[in-house]
């Protein structure tokens, strides 16, 4: 599990995927979500604009990110 620090209280899912280097662009993030490859706290997520906060966990394939 990799910890990703954020500046404020929340971050959008698409922004997190770009910050972590999993997606190169918003279009890449959208494609990952559309293919059903992303889960948030164990549940499949398809909304790029989903708000995430400290403690949330995002999994893409075999990589898991925790927001700190």
Structural domains of the chain, count = 1
* Token pair in block for residue 53: 């906060």
Which CATH number belongs to the domain containing residue 27 in this structure?
3.10.290.10
Nearest-angstrom CA–CA distance, 34 and 43: 14
- Could you tell me the pLDDT band of residue 68, with boundaries at 50, 70 and 90? very high
Selection from 4, 1, 35 nearest residue 18 by Cα:
4
| pLDDT digit string, tens, across residues 15-52 | 999 999 999 999 999 999 999 999 999 999 999 999 99
pLDDT at 35: 96
Residue range of the domain that includes 41:
2-67
> Which two structure tokens, joined as six digits, stand for 38?
């992303």
Binned at pLDDT 50, 70 and 90, residue 3 comes out as very high
């Amino acid at each position: 599990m990799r910890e990703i620090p954020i500046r404020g209280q929340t971050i959008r899912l698409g922004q997190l995927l770009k910050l972590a280097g999993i997606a190169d662009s918003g279009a890449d993030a959208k494609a990952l979500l559309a293919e059903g490859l992303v889960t948030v706290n164990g549940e499949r997520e398809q909304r790029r604009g989903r708000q995430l906060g400290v403690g949330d966990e995002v999994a893409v394939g075999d990589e898991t990110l925790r927001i700190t």
